Amino acid sequence: MVKEDYTTSKWGKNAVLHHAILFATQAHQGQSRKGTNIGYISHPFEVAQILTAADCDTELIIAGLLHDVLEDTTVTPEIIEREFGPFVLSLIQSNSEDKSRSWEERKQHTINYMTHKASMEELLLACADKLSNLRSIKADYMECGDELWARFNRGKEAQSWYYSKLIDTFAPLEEYDMYWEISNLYTDVFVTYYRGYDESGETIYQTNGQETYCYHENTCRWIPITLGKWQQIQPEVIAIPKSKAIDMEVRLREDYPSPLCLIRHQRDADIIALYAKKLIRQGYGPDLFPDLWNNMGGGIPAPTLRAVESAFLALYKYND
């Protein structure tokens, strides 16, 4: 689809944006945001602002202003094409749902399209739209809690599923701030964090009700766990705020591999090398090892400590 050249059109670049603002305002006149008395036009305006902040083209910003007019107003595709061109129309159509289908069918169709067919422009438009929605959801959730979900056709679990799958489709946008903001907002609204311990040591858990991951002290990465295992673990763990979970993750990552991890993987060359690198990063010198040997290795078995010392000395000499 060829983009419209607004610099040579009857409107001009700035004038056509003004025209789109007035057009969207008139089209959505009298409409309100779900469950509120806030004018609906605030949503298209915010979508356009998000796209503007991302340095998107004029056509995409206009599509942001108009992205709901086909779905929620009497405006026809012919009018959009006449006023703003076929490229803007195609962007709006990519973000419009067929309201004759069920909620599940519509959302799955959107996920499938964004995963397999969407262009970068279409992904940006969809991400900006969903980011604006999730900003509103978080603000309302902070105010009224789980009562919020009564406003929606489907409850928290279904909304969590939908936004989770959409964020997966937005992965090509990871260079854009909007991608990271929507990812963080998702965890704020839908994810609960827990702290616990298992055979691997201190562990952080996060779950959205459908998928659960754990962050192990001895691996320092998020690993999926089954629903059955989570149901066994959940009574033994303690819910914690997201901020505390982040602090724990940072601490565990900075301490990786820990002495406990090193003891559990005594013959793992990669762990031994990582431990040696960590000691160098923390500012230790070769004089560390006589003290360790005198202290019975600090609990580290002699063969493993000898391997750590060899790796440390080789890396230390190389770094010099």
Q: Of 120, 117, 41, 121, give the one whose Cα is nearest residue 89.
A: 121
Residues 6+ apart with CB under 8 A from 70: 76, 77, 80, 92, 93, 96
pLDDT for res 259 = 80
pLDDT in tens, 126-147: 999 999 999 999 998 988 888 8
Strand order in the sheet with 212-216: 222-225, 212-216, 201-207, 192-198, 238-240
Backbone angles phi, psi at 58, to 5 degrees: -55, -40
Residues 196 and 214: their CA atoms lie apart, in Å, by 10
Q: What integer best gives the mean pLDDT of the chain?
A: 89
Q: Which two tokens stand for residue 176?
A: 């854009």
**3-state SS assignment for residue 232:** helix
pLDDT for res 3 = 62
pTM: 0.78
Which residues participate in catalysis according to the annotation? Answer: 71-72
pLDDT in tens, 259-299: 877 877 788 888 888 889 888 888 899 998 888 888 776 77
pLDDT for res 217 = 76
**Res. 320: pLDDT tops 70:** no
Residues of the chain with CATH 1.10.3210.10: 13-163
Q: According to CATH, what is the number of the domain 13-163?
A: 1.10.3210.10
Q: Of 56, 70, 57, give the one whose Cα is nearest residue 28.
A: 70
Residues 158 and 109: their CA atoms lie apart, in Å, by 15
